[in-house]
Amino acid sequence: MKETKKCAISNVDLPINQLILGSSIVQPIKEIIKKRYPVFTNESWIDLKIVHKLRKEYLENLVRNELGEIHTLEQEVVDAIQANEIITEKLNLEIEKNYTFGEKLSDKIAEFGGSWRFIISFLFFMFVWIVSNILFLTNKGFDPYPFILLNLILSCLAALQAPIIMMSQNRQEIKDRKRAENDYKTNLKAELEIRQLHDKIDHLISHQNKKIMEIQELQTDYLNELVNIHRSNKK
């Protein structure tokens, strides 16, 4: 049968693995508990769910005091800490999985249009076009000099290429914004967790110093007893 204890807040008997002793709770959370529940002491047992809820409230107050208010990004960070989740996301996969066929095609076209392959290929195409009409077709072919059809193709290509590149740039801006948001959330999460770590270390040091003092008092009492025994034996 599992050992049970009564939660000092809810007055419900719970298994010992679902409770935590008051002396084991870090000071900032303990102060919140004592303000709301004056009956709570270091020897009291409390439900872990209540402690997690109050810890989330403590983190929200911490962010609110630093930033003035909590936005969606800050709330996501607090929720991630509460759920013990990794906040870093695979941003490219997350964004690109929602792309339509046209958006993916525009990215490929923009990628090809801004490469040396496109420049060399198009220069080769223009060279073949001009040479074919002037030399092989003696300037009587499908597009004689001054190459009006070629100029029309170049104008259409430029008119289509510009908006395609702009669409791709807009999606790149969305990616950059998502990355910036992700970096901000990661940094905020690290800062809050470091703050919690400092609280835990301070709590452990304080608890350890208290234990050391108790041990020293016991040792002093023991030495005094030995001295008294030694003196009585001499008499």
**Distance between CA atoms of residues 61 and 56, nearest Å:** 9
pLDDT band at residue 25 under the 50/70/90 scheme: confident
The residue among 39 and 87 whose pLDDT is bigger is: 39
What residue spans define the domains of the chain?
Answer: 1-51, 91-183
120-125 long-range contacts (CB < 8 A, ≥24 apart) are none
Give the ranges where the chain is alpha helix by DSSP (H). 27-36, 48-67, 72-82, 91-96, 101-113, 116-131, 148-234
pLDDT band at residue 70 under the 50/70/90 scheme: confident
For the stretch 178-189, pLDDT in tens is 888 888 888 888
Mean pLDDT of the 63-87 span: 76
End-to-end CA distance of the chain: 56
User: Do residues 40 and 22 make contact, with C-beta atoms less than 8 angstroms apart?
Assistant: yes
pLDDT band at residue 222 under the 50/70/90 scheme: low
Any idea which of 59-63, 125-129, 160-164, 220-224 has the lowest mean pLDDT? 220-224
The whole-number pLDDT of residue 165 equals 83
> What pTM, to 2 d.p., does this model score?
0.55
The whole-number pLDDT of residue 168 equals 81
pLDDT at 12 over 60: yes
pLDDT band at residue 99 under the 50/70/90 scheme: confident
The whole-number pLDDT of residue 40 equals 81
Could you tell me the two tokens for 27? 């000071």
Strand partners, 19: 47
User: Do residues 185 and 76 make contact, with C-beta atoms less than 8 angstroms apart?
Assistant: yes
